[in-house]
């Protein structure tokens, strides 16, 4: 699959989308890529009947003009910072972003609650896009309109690893992101051994907790060493007892980026990458990069990274 060196950004004029735009600009500058801004609107699904039995013609010119203003304002915001292009698209927001992700190297989108236009793009789309995108998707969280300082430059990254194929793809992408920013990278393997919510009920009661964690740590070390290859990135490794979603969400308060895989396989191998990735996306305090497993088959990046050129 042919990809372009571009960070795709979904915008709608909201605070969250502007935060995503600023993050995308910072990432694009590090990569030497450009930014492509897109505002998506959909037409009402109903039509009104006239008195003579005909139907009202829907004029979408004002809606389209409003979307174009959003794009123009976004482009003005990034002027002279990175090369940027923009477009207005009509249709289903998630479907269009998924289609555009086939050619992009990365997608950035804001994540906030609410209703109306902001929620159409940044609410449901942010969670439904990640599992189906063809490139990594970064979600920038904004809580109830609260504006926090943008977490760039990225200095601390945490990646969740659970032994699945999806986790290995996410780990490789996390290593490359650490190289992009010269950031500290920590790989976390979490297993809910103890009592309480999330604990593995099928596990024997006489299991040796320390022995199990030692086995998990050994597997983590093998996975990380294989993913590193010739990379000189130093990866810290932690095997922890606890809920993967809860631990990663807790880490999100102290790091600049979380990286998770999507499309986990279920069972032990999918402890992290199934519903957990969606939970992390919904509750993380920092940006979350969701990396689809299909990257292994479709090609990870449109160009070599700067340090490889």
Q: Is the per-residue pLDDT at 26 higher than 70? A: yes
What share of the chain in percent tops pLDDT 90? 50
Query: pLDDT grade, residue 193 (50/70/90)?
Result: confident
For the full predicted model, state whether its pTM sits above 0.75: yes
Whether domain 6-44+61-141 has CATH 3.40.50.620: yes
Q: What confidence score (pLDDT) does residue 192 get?
A: 80
Residue ranges of the chain that CATH labels 3.40.50.620: 6-44+61-141, 156-308
Contact between residue 60 and residue 42 where contact means Cβ atoms under 8 Å apart: no
The rounded mean pLDDT for the chain is 81
Question: Which carries the bigger pLDDT value, residue 202 or residue 81?
Answer: 81
CA nearest to 160, candidates 248, 234, 101:
248
User: What's the CA gap between 151 and 284, in Å, rounded?
Assistant: 13
Contact between residue 77 and residue 17 where contact means Cβ atoms under 8 Å apart: no
Q: What is the pLDDT of residues 115-164, one digit of tens each?
A: 334 444 455 576 678 888 999 999 998 876 566 788 899 999 999 998 78
Question: Which carries the bigger pLDDT value, residue 271 or residue 295?
Answer: 295
Q: What is the pLDDT of residues 249-277, one digit of tens each?
A: 999 999 999 999 886 444 344 444 456 78
> What dotted CATH number matches 156-308?
3.40.50.620
User: What's the CA gap between 194 and 203, in Å, rounded?
Assistant: 10
Q: What is the pLDDT of residues 212-231, one digit of tens each?
A: 888 889 999 999 999 998 99
Contact between residue 25 and residue 8 where contact means Cβ atoms under 8 Å apart: no
């Amino acid at each position: 699959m042919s990809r372009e060196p571009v960070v795709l950004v979904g915008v709608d004029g909201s605070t969250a989308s502007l935060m995503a735009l600023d993050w995308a600009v910072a990432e694009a500058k590090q990569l030497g890529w450009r930014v492509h801004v897109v505002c998506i609107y959909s037409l009402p699904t109903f039509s009104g009947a006239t008195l003579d039995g005909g139907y009202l013609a829907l004029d979408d010119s004002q809606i389209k003009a409003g979307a174009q203003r959003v794009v123009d304002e976004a482009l003005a915001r990034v002027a002279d910072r990175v090369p940027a292009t923009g477009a207005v698209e009509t249709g289903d927001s998630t479907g269009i972003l998924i289609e555009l992700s086939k050619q992009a190297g990365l997608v950035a989108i804001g994540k906030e609650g609410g209703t109306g236009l902001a929620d159409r793009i940044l609410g449901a789309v942010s969670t439904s896009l990640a599992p189906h995108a063809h490139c990594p998707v970064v979600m920038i969280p904004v809580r109830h309109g609260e504006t926090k300082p943008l977490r760039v430059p990225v200095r601390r990254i945490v990646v969740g690893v659970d032994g699945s194929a999806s986790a290995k793809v996410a780990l490789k992408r996390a290593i490359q992101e650490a190289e992009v920013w010269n950031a500290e990278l920590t790989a976390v393997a979490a297993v809910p051994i103890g009592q309480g919510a999330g604990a593995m009920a099928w596990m024997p009661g006489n299991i040796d907790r320390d022995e199990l964690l030692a086995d998990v740590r050994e597997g983590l070390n093998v996975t990380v060493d294989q993913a590193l290859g010739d990379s000189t990135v130093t990866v810290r490794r932690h095997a922890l007892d606890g809920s993967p979603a809860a631990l990663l969400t807790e880490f999100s308060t102290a790091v600049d980026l979380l990286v998770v895989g999507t499309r986990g396989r279920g069972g032990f191998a999918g402890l992290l990458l199934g519903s957990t990735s969606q939970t992390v996306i919904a509750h993380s305090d920092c940006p979350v990069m969701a990396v689809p497993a299909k990257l292994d088959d479709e090609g990870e990046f449109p160009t070599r990274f700067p340090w490889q050129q």
